Amino acid sequence: MKKKVFSLLLAASMLTSVLAGCGNTAGGNTPASPAASNDTTTVDAGNTDVDTPATTVEGAGRVGVSMPTKDLQRWNQDGENMKEQLEAAGYEVDLQYASNEIATQVSQIENMISSGCQVLVIAAIEGDSLGTVLEQAKEKGIAVIAYDRLIMNSDAVTYYATFDNIMVGTKQGQYIEQQLNLANGDGPFNIELITGDPGDNNARFFFGGAMDVLQPYIDNGQFVVRSGQTDFATVATQGWSTENAQNRFDAIISANYADGTQLDAVLASNDSTAMGVTNSLEANYAANHDNWPIITGQDCDIANVKNMIAGKQAMSIFKDTRDLAAKTVEMVNAIMNGTDAPINDRETYDNGTGIIPSYLCEPKFADITNYEELLIESGYYTADQLK
Ligand code: BGC
């Protein structure tokens, strides 16, 4: 046992230094949560009495990766990138997708715990639903990395790896502001708003970041929201679903724009909701209007990039999931080694039990002018995929 633990630590420590992630690395932290201090898989090689999951598998260790769904393109990419990079770092990976069903995600995590995973990387379907299962992880000394979405109200969360979610919203809001020349007083314009799942903590940050830019223009009358739907609960979209987004916009268009009134902009928090808006406009708006509103998005999903190229969606936000995966692997290595994880934010993300030390990758603005460089030249997509 002593030998196995030692070789685990040695292998992990050799790997740590070769992995790099997105942008700058601000190191120098110790895990803040009780889960982290009670601690993960880091054991003193000389202490043979410590019984940790580190000894239950061969190799560098076993990592559970729990993704919400295969339905949206980005989670497939996240899962694949994570698996590839963790395996390249020598870990055994248990990758599961939960069909957007909370009960499925919980039982998949239970299996990961009982099958000897030492670290769990979790993109939660609903931020608030994992507290009980993560208690089990904490009791077993298993570390938890909240991936992309913060896991709420659980003190089992060690680190949070994500993109700067506020910046995503800010970039969307600023884009609309610039395109409509709002800062110089142009208007009034008509705008409608749509964001994501109310149980996904990210949705509030995306929407909040955008509304910090746009709300003053609603307040001063440069923007009119004809539907009157502006509060988060009303503009949220269950499951981030394209169909739900489309249904809501069908109703908005028929009640407010069917008479030929022009809709100038739609703040959509991501690509799946933007797709629902676009589908609705194509069915209900295009035939009796001669403008097409500015529609924002996020993720650069293939179908949405095609819509950008076709002029149906104005912009998206590129979140390079390869970078997020690389940063998460660095966190896994740090946990396995008991070394400092890459952390660049210690103030923004309080999950209800305290601030979770986070690494925020940089989201990038994408539109028709830069998508080739951002998405094709970087090797994220092939040119053929976007045809
Ligand atoms: C992610 C977005 C994604 C959305 C829907 C959010 O938590 O950050 O990138 O579009 O979930 O899957």
Å from CA of 270 to ligand 1 middle: 7
> Is 43 a residue whose pLDDT tops 50?
no
Nearest to 241 by CA among 370, 63, 69: 69
What pLDDT shows up at residue 60?
86
The number of domains in the chain is: 2
Domain boundary among 318, 342, 376: 318
> Is 40 a residue whose pLDDT tops 60?
no
Whether 208 and 156 map to the same domain: the answer is no
> Residues 42-56: what's their mean pLDDT?
31
In a domain, 378, yes or no: no
User: Residue 295 phi/psi, 5° resolution?
Assistant: -125, 130
Please give the Cα distance from 314 to 304 (Å, whole number): 10
Whether 42 and 148 map to the same domain: the answer is yes
Ligand 1-lining residues (CB < 6 angstroms)? 72, 74, 148-149, 196, 200, 202, 240, 270, 272, 298-299, 319
Whether 331 and 274 map to the same domain: the answer is no
In a domain, 379, yes or no: no
Nearest CA to ligand 1 atom 10: 270
Extract the tokens encoding 351.
Answer: 């999950």
| Residue-number span of the structural domain to which 95 is assigned | 23-164+320-361
Ligand 1 atom showing the smallest separation from residue 162 Cα: 8
Å from CA of 327 to ligand 1 middle: 18
Whether 300 and 169 map to the same domain: the answer is yes
> Is 296 a residue whose pLDDT tops 50?
yes
Whether 334 and 287 map to the same domain: the answer is no
Whether 201 and 308 map to the same domain: the answer is yes
Q: Percent of the chain beyond pLDDT 70?
A: 85
> Is 290 a residue whose pLDDT tops 50?
yes
Whether 149 and 212 map to the same domain: the answer is no
Å from CA of 48 to ligand 1 middle: 43
Q: What CATH number is attached to the domain comprising 230?
A: 3.40.50.2300
Whose structure tokens read 């979790």?
122
The radius of gyration computed from the CA coordinates of the chain, to the nearest angstrom, equals: 22
